[in-house]
Amino acid sequence: MSKKNILITGGAGFIGSHVVRLFVEKYPDYKIVNLDALTYAGNLENLADIEDKPNYFFEKVNILDADKLKEVFEKHEITDIVHLAAESHVDRSIVSPLDFVYTNVIGTVNLLNTAREQWKGEYDQHLFYHVSTDEVYGALGDTGLFTEETPYHPNSPYSASKASSDHFVRAYAETYHLRTVISNCSNNYGPYHFPEKLIPLFINNIINKKPLPVYGDGLYTRDWLYVKDHAIAIDLIFHKGRKDETYNIGGFNEWRNIDLVKLLCKIMDEKLGNISGTSEQLITYVKDRPGHDRRYAIDATKINKELGWKPTVTFEEGLAETVDWYLTNTRWLDHVTSGAYQSYYESMYSAR
């Protein structure tokens, strides 16, 4: 295996930290450079267990800063990129769409430009891997699955910004022959997930006996994948994926929100030694999210057939492991839910 110096952007976030950990541990001969601006969602505590490894480096840089990107590229002689840095929360995108345009669209184009300049004349030897979401495809009805051929139909400012970044990556492959690959994944869950997304928010609220705010009728459907299985898929695509292709990644695991919340309540009651039904009493139906996509579900046949990938963890196992992690890592949870988190929570949920 040839020596690589891989820039992983957004490595201090939820999925990025799992990707960084996997690459640092699995490939001691690679240099892994985690580039992250450390926004509210970025937390170096997510990587405390590997920060002393000799092949791990951290650079606090915003992807909007083209000069700094160039410096990092030259300093570490970057050979490949796995790009995860993004604003990632749909509800925040409804409040502040421009933040999503800056980071997700302009930041991605900055990174593409840097790669283009730095790798000029030798594009075949380098890879720009863009990590994206199934939300770019829009919403499904009661049946059907998203395939790699499904037309883009983004409905939220978040998914519109990710769709735009996907299009730029494609355009740079066509126009400049940059070697690229894109993956579009379904909803992830697992350790280190910031407690503004459904599963970690509800775990935290159950611990603190706070209401569980279910949007609308609760019948929205998501396809859930354990984050470590996403990281395994990214590793496979990075090393074995075909040039300029797109791969859909999903959990083959659809859940209506309300059913998932009830399952989570049951697991939490068992773990906390509560009388059965205690946590379910916290469920509160609240005002719906505007433009709320009804259903997402991925057809992951292509990655399964071409690269042999499939999820290794069942939902029951993954959810139980996740709950255990949050109950054990109370210090992490206390740190991320202090300060700014409180005012975010107030402004997001007091009006619902």
Q: Which residues are catalytic?
A: 134-135, 158
CB of 42 to ligand TYD, least distance (A): 18
Footprint on residues 271-330 left by ligand TYD (CB under 6 A): 289
- In terms of DSSP bridges, do strands 254-256 and 221-226 run parallel, antiparallel, or are they unpaired? antiparallel
Under the binding rule (CB under 6 A), the answer on residue 90 touching ligand TYD is: yes
Under the binding rule (CB under 6 A), the answer on residue 190 touching ligand NAD is: no
Name the β-bridge partners of 337.
none
Binding at 15: pick from ligand TYD, ligand NAD, none (beta carbon under 5-8 Å per type): ligand NAD
In angstroms, the CA 298 to CA 224 distance is 10
Under the binding rule (CB under 6 A), the answer on residue 187 touching ligand TYD is: yes
CB of 277 to ligand NAD, least distance (A): 29
Name which of 139 and 307 has its Cβ closer to ligand TYD. 139
CB of 188 to ligand NAD, least distance (A): 4
Residue with tokens 């970057």: 78
**Dihedral (CA of 38, 41, 44, 49) sign:** negative
Under the binding rule (CB under 6 A), the answer on residue 10 touching ligand NAD is: yes
Under the binding rule (CB under 6 A), the answer on residue 84 touching ligand NAD is: yes
Footprint on residues 222-241 left by ligand TYD (CB under 6 A): 222
Sheet holding 254-256, edge to edge: 187-189, 221-226, 254-256
Q: Which long-range contacts (CB under 8 A, 24 or more apart) does 263-266 make?
A: 263/319, 264/199, 264/202, 264/203, 264/206, 264/319, 264/323, 265/206, 265/212
The span of 5-13, 148-156, 280-288, 324-332 binding ligand NAD (CB under 6 A) equals 5-13
What are 260's two structure tokens?
Answer: 């998932």
Name which of 88 and 114 has its Cβ closer to ligand TYD. 88
What are 311's two structure tokens?
Answer: 């999820």
> How many DSSP H helices and E strands does the chain contain?
13, 12
Work out which of 21, 24, 42, 157 binds ligand NAD, going by CB under 6 A. Answer: 42
In angstroms, the CA 162 to CA 31 distance is 28
Any idea of the CA torsion for 179, 116, 3, 24, to the nearest 10 degrees? Answer: -90
For the purposes of burial, counting CB atoms within 10 Å of the CB of 334, is it exposed (0-12), middle (13-18) or buried (19 or more)? exposed
CB of 251 to ligand NAD, least distance (A): 10
Binding at 323: pick from ligand NAD, ligand TYD, none (beta carbon under 5-8 Å per type): none
Residue nearest to ligand NAD (CB): 13
Under the binding rule (CB under 6 A), the answer on residue 311 touching ligand NAD is: no
Under DSSP, is residue 56 helix (H, G, I), strand (E, B) or coil? strand
* Site of interaction with ligand NAD (CB under 6 A): 10, 12-16, 36-39, 41-42, 62-64, 84-88, 103, 107, 131, 133, 162, 185, 187-188, 194
* Site of interaction with ligand TYD (CB under 6 A): 90, 187, 197-198, 201, 213-215, 220, 222, 257, 289
